[in-house]
Amino acid sequence: MTQLAADSPPVRASQRSPRGRSRGRAPETNASVEGSAQREDWLAKAIFIALLTSIVFLQKVAVPGNIELVLPVAWAMLGGSAIFFRIGIDVGRFVLFGIFSFFVIGSQFLLGYAFSQNSLMVGLAITALLCFKIYVKSATYLWMMRTFVNAMLLVAVIVGLQQVLQHTLGAWTWPNLDQVIPLAFQYRTYNYMQLVEWGSIYYKPNGIFFLETSVLSQYIALGFLVEFLFFRRAWALAILLGAEIATMGGTGLMLLLWVAPFLIPRLGPRALAAAIPAAGIVVALAISSGWMANVSTRMGTFSTGGSSANQRFVQPLLYFENLNSIGLDALKGIGAGNIPQVTDTVWWPATKVSAEYGVPAAIALYIYLVYSLFKGTVSRTLAFGCLVQYSILNGSYAMPIFMATTAMLVTLFHVRPEELGQLKQELRTKL
């Protein structure tokens, strides 16, 4: 059964009978409601596990058309959940998605040339994932967050083993999914095996399951962020931070730097006193491992055409700098799938949507995105971290895993309203 409701929990107790009538049936009714809630929480856990598995461990698997497996998995789980229990469609999100769709579809009818219908439909299917909402108990929500962190801890161990193996036996001993997954079912265009630097004999770890080091680095950073916000286990934070350094990637560090202003004030005096020497140890490890030199070298190449930093963070901005010279195309776009396929340039969602569907569509996308992420969420800091990952660390408008990650961690699973306030209070007073 589906429900079209923004803030109502999926299970409601029946109206209580008047006093003196069927008084003995109240416990049975309450037990039935509680049992229904427990079943729905178990189904929510199943959806979470399916999303986590396809996002993290199957992200290199694609269906024909080079579409990541997570997109059909996500829609299959959402469709199945509508049959077995109530899944909410947030009214506000649904309306904003409709406005965005109006601009996206309408802009294509204003074009005088062909566009990719497949690209248009896939983009809408990806962004529509944020419309849905499933209410769970606070204990279930924390279980989901802990499960995500545990998955990242497993990935952190894999990263450590990869570094040990390549410095003892060689990187050729790493399991290679490119040799396992048939070519027709591999998600392409990412650099799975990436040298530390040109001419090096060493490779950056890819966590085996990840598209490339950059993506691996971001997900470990998200694991660190979730652990810090919800659990604060010192050993888990240390392992994740160590793995972040071991990846030799810079995008995860950038994500953490973006959210750092929201994390530091959460440290109490004792935690802050312990963090200072810990930070010194981390810096020493970063320098001795070569991570600091590698990242600083890449940070110094923003102005160098063809460099990773330039392609990720400069080229996407040049589109907006040249809006005055683009003319009418700035309003209606150049058509779905028609953005120039410049080698290795990472088009941000704002750039890609502006170029293909027009600036009004991009504005509508971000109003919808920000509303979905921040309204009623447990942690606005986590929502902001997902927004940063989606917006500037990847060319992620047409990539399902990043929107699916945002849905899995922030927008899809919401704590029941009667428990939300208490959970937020507990998190505010943690440490």
Q: Given this model, what pLDDT does residue 236 score?
A: 96
pTM of the predicted model as reported, rounded to 2 decimal places: 0.85
Which pLDDT value is given to residue 329? 76
* Model confidence pLDDT, tens digit, residues 205-235: 999 999 999 999 999 999 999 999 999 998 9
Sites in the chain below the pLDDT cut of 70: 1-37, 84-86, 112-113, 268-315, 324-325, 341-345, 430-431
Residue 393: predicted pLDDT: 87
The Cα–Cα gap between 182 and 391 comes to 31
pLDDT value at position 325?
A: 66
* pLDDT, position 237: 94
